[in-house]
Amino acid sequence: MTSADFVTAFATGWPEQEPHLMVLSLTTHKGVQDFALSKEQALLIAKTIKKTAAQLAPPKVA
Q: Measured between alpha carbons, how far is 53 from 31 in angstroms, rounded to an integer?
A: 25
The predicted model scores a pTM of: 0.62
For residue 20, give the nearest of 45, 38, 35 by alpha carbon.
38
Q: Measured between alpha carbons, how far is 3 from 22 in angstroms, rounded to an integer?
A: 22
Query: How many H-runs (helices) and E-runs (strands) does the chain carry?
Result: 1, 3
The domain locations on the chain are 4-52
Q: Measured between alpha carbons, how far is 39 from 53 in angstroms, rounded to an integer?
A: 21
Query: Worst-scoring range by mean pLDDT, 27-31, 38-42, 49-53?
Result: 27-31
Q: Provide the β-strand partners of residue 31.
A: 28
pLDDT at 14: 58
